[in-house]
A and B are shown apart, each in its own frame.
Chain A
Amino acid sequence: MKILVALKRVVDYNVRVQVKPDGTGVAIDGVKMSINPFDEIALEEALRIREAGGAEEVIVVSIGASEAQQQLRTGLAMGADRAILVTADGPLVPLDAARTLLKLVEREEPGLVILGKQAIDDDCNQTGQMLAALWGRPQATFASEVDLAGGAATVVREVDAGLETIEVDLPAVLTTDLRLNEPRFVKLPEIMKAKRKPLEEIAIADLGVEPAGVIRETHFAPPAKREKGIMVEDVDQLLGALKDKGLL
């Protein structure tokens, strides 16, 4: 079985993004870029499944500008077997990303596709669900535990009410939640080795995908600021202030 993992190149988790003063976007020139943290968890899970004998090959995929090669190389250094970069101009909406991934799924025929539950740039939380719909296959989103057996996956999902368990037939799409695993650190020899692993580039047009867009971003603004509040000295003052506000 093959496992396909999508890695999105995003602004690093630790960068505090600022809106451009003219409202045309966010200022991300020159900031540190990384693999979307949820996608790193997805790759770690795929590697563990392969290491446990549940899969033969782990393929990492990214869609976007050629700079995303960096994230794919990191994925290869973590242990993926090969990489595919679908080159495209500008960011795609999740539906277009799902259409693109579907083309790769049809080509590679993986038993599992593992994605992060959301990208920390657009915070959409859509691509995995959309890919599963277009593919006509099951989805197990927000996974915190995955067990494979007999052509099916038993997945524990983190839902608002607690932990939900579902069973899905393979092939299927999984999306990862934070506690599924802790991704491994990459060691230097692995980085050297990763340079020799195959990285294929395909233009999105050559896959027959024409991004449809449809959602237009018209303006960007910083979030509303909260007024700075008061400091109190002790518990009695605190409880007094809450009583004054009618909150106790």
Chain B
Amino acid sequence: MNKILILADHDGSTLGPATAKTVAGAAAIGGDIDVVVLAESGAAIAAEAATLEGVTRALHVDAPHNAAPLAAVAAPQLAALMANGYTHLLAGSTTYGKDVLPRAAALLGVPQVSDIMAVDGPRAFKRPIYAGNAIVSVEVDGDGPVVGTIRAASFKAATTGDAAPVEATTVSADIPEHTRYVKLEASGGDRPDLASAPRVVSGGRALGSAENFDLIYKMADTMNAGVGASRAAVDAGYVPNELQVGQTGKIIAPELYVAIGISGAIQHLTGIKDAGTIVAINKDADAPIFEVSDIGLVADLFQVVPEITGKLGG
């Protein structure tokens, strides 16, 4: 019988959307599923996790040192919790999961399977390599625990239902003091979060400047969409890196993805290939983005984007 421990993703007060996806990945493995919240005061976050379909228990480890999301602090606690008979340790492929889980895996002396996109068995998975140009099937040998991050775009979020028990728990682990949290400069404001928004409007290098990127923000706002960008737009300094969609940025799966002035480099396509409907607007009819788009429009973005915004009531 598998016993799966999931590290909850949260911002200190609410559960992040990656956790429901991770629970779905765990359900595909099968077995008992415990979600653990490491926070200063995690009862409310755990209560949210407890309503996810498939969750057996929602645990929270409340401690002042858990006030900030530090890998060096979280990993030894996870390694200690794993001693309670768990066969799997999972987290979402968020920057938090990517930071913490390999550290926990190394403490457990086992390797990690990153970015699980399909579950073939309790120890068998599929994951993307080479920016998604290949999908490799892997098997984890031996009898040590399986540690893996779940690629959110590949799984449908677990639905909510009756609440599982919520339990406060304690962990005995050496908490290092060599790593200190200073601050977080949050971005984004009121717009839907790029990683979980059902609609995303993205801009590329063709926007030409940070000022022109306003066109993307305005169009996104009329559609209640999140905003993304290609790596080229990030590299050119038009937008901050947390808007980057692709191999080295965020991998997303919105119902609707609108790519504006994005040529469609493979490393960008990696980030969107699980999107429901891809719309591409580009001046260049030969742009590779049109090979993957469901609806394509060859046009000058500076004409059609304001037109769309106007017609949608912006």
Contact = CB atoms under 8 A, between A and B. Distances in A.
| Chains A and B are bound partners | yes
Contacts of B128: 123, 223
Contact of B179 (A138, A223, A233): A138
26 contacts: A11-B130, A95-B111, A120-B248, A122-B129, A126-B102, A129-B98, A129-B101, A130-B102, A130-B106, A133-B104, A138-B179, A139-B71, A141-B71, A161-B186, A162-B186, A165-B183, A178-B241, A215-B140, A219-B136, A226-B294, A232-B296, A234-B297, A235-B297, A241-B295, A242-B256, A248-B223
Interface in A151-206: 154, 157-169, 172, 177-179
B182 interface: yes
Interface in B181-206: 181-188, 195, 199
Interface stretch (A16-24, A48-56, A104-112): A16-24
A216 B295 CA distance: 40
Interface residues of A, number: 85
Contacts of B299: 234-235
A142 B133 contact: no
Nearest to B193: A160
A161 B187 contact: yes
Contacts of B172: none
Interface residues of B, number: 89
B250 A238 contact: no
Interface in B229-249: 231, 234-235, 240-242, 247-248
Given A121-B130, A125-B114, A168-B179, 13 more contacts: A16-B266, A120-B248, A126-B112, A129-B100, A129-B102, A129-B106, A144-B241, A163-B240, A224-B273, A234-B299, A235-B308, A238-B295, A241-B295
Contacts of A161: 11, 184, 186-188, 242
Interface of A: 11, 16-19, 26, 38, 93-95, 98, 118, 120-134, 136-142, 144, 154, 157-169, 172, 177-179, 212-224, 226-239, 241-242, 245, 247-248
Contacts of B188: 161-162
A109 B70 CA distance: 24
A231 B179 contact: no
B255 interface: yes
A187 to B, nearest CB: 23
Interface stretch (B33-41, B46-54, B156-164, B285-293): B285-293
Nearest to A13: B267
Interface of B: 11, 70-72, 75, 94-96, 98-107, 110-115, 124, 128-142, 144, 176, 178-188, 195, 199, 223, 231, 234-235, 240-242, 247-248, 250, 255-256, 266, 273, 276-279, 281, 290-299, 304, 307-308, 311-312
Contact of B105 (A130, A131, A224): A130
Contacts of A139: 71-72, 99, 103, 179
Given A120-B131, A229-B296, A235-B311, A220 B279 contact: no
B314 to A, nearest CB: 13
A139 B102 CA distance: 11
Contact of A229 (B107, B240, B276, B295): B295
A162 B184 contact: yes
Contacts of B101: 129
Contacts of B102: 94, 125-130, 133
A230 B296 CA distance: 6
Contact of A216 (B110, B141, B241): B141
Contacts of B140: 214-216
Nearest to A37: B248
B235 to A, nearest CB: 7
A163 B183 CA distance: 8
Contacts of A128: 102
